[in-house]
Homo-oligomer: A and B are copies of this chain.
């Protein structure tokens, strides 16, 4: 990695942290410059505009998510083991963030703010939902999920459980959130599992 690339990745990583904590809309070049202990004009040279900074931070968050959640799951055998791996990695992801899942909070924050940032967030989310569907499809292909599985429905239900887990665990510090999550996940898998 070139030195310039490394610096930029560090800045993006800090921007990602800041946006997770304060909300994406609060991520300005000025705020990031302060947090990074850099000059505003130096950061401006990297990003040119607040919007561009936000887009690059969301793109960076997507890469971190891919590396930590998606790729290790895709390296796991297709079928229920892969589905379980995605769930476990995703739970870990929601645990590692200080201010909540940036994708979910940014999607809510930008729901009534049309523009490039919202379009980018929605595309990321659409891709993620499609990815979950495909993981279910691969479980159908290897015969572990029933042939009539509605994979889009499965994706919705797994996403919903993760949101429930995140609310109970991180926002409410509810006793037994993990157990509730694991039991619901098992019930979800059972409801789609093929009989043979």
Contact = CB atoms under 8 A, between A and B. Distances in A.
30 contacts: A99-B108, A104-B167, A105-B108, A107-B167, A108-B167, A108-B171, A111-B170, A111-B171, A111-B173, A122-B172, A122-B173, A125-B172, A129-B174, A150-B183, A152-B180, A153-B180, A153-B183, A156-B164, A156-B180, A156-B181, A156-B184, A157-B161, A157-B187, A159-B164, A160-B161, A160-B163, A160-B164, A163-B164, A163-B167, A191-B191
Interface in A102-145: 104-105, 107-108, 111-112, 122, 125-126, 129
Contacts of A150: 183
Interface of A: prevailing SS: helix
A168 interface: yes
Nearest to A110: B171
A68 interface: no
A64 to B, nearest CB: 20
A161 B112 CA distance: 22
A108 B100 contact: yes
Could you say how many copies of this chain the assembly holds? Answer: 2
B171 A164 contact: no
Interface string A37-56: 00000000000000000000
Interface residues of A, number: 38
A92 interface: no
A98 interface: yes
Interface string A154-196: 0011011101110110111110000011011001000100000
